[in-house]
């Protein structure tokens, strides 16, 4: 992986997306946290739509 595409590492050891790092650097940590929350909410909503569309019960293994 080239240097330009590397994700910075957090102190917890997981990759931090570049858009989170940019928001924290440019607009502060609070703004980055808001963007992460919005992203997780979007993914959760999309997952729920997928489950509904295909009749998947997420509680079943």
pTM: 0.50
pLDDT for position 16: 67
Domain boundaries, the chain: 7-54
**Cβ–Cβ under 8 Å, residues 16 and 25:** no
**Cβ–Cβ under 8 Å, residues 24 and 31:** yes
pLDDT for position 5: 46
Show pLDDT as tens, one digit a residue, over the chain (61 residues): 444 444 455 444 456 677 777 777 777 777 778 888 888 889 889 988 988 899 988 777 6
pLDDT for position 31: 76
pLDDT for position 1: 42
Alpha carbon dihedral 20, 15, 13, 47, in 10-degree steps, equals 90
Q: What CA–CA distance (Å, rounded) separates 24 from 55?
A: 39
């Amino acid at each position: 992986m080239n240097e330009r595409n590397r994700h910075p590492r957090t102190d917890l050891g997981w990759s931090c997306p570049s858009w989170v790092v940019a928001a924290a650097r440019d607009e502060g940590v609070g703004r980055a946290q808001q963007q992460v929350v919005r992203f997780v909410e979007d993914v959760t909503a999309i997952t729920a739509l997928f489950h509904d569309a295909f009749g998947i019960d997420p509680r079943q293994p």
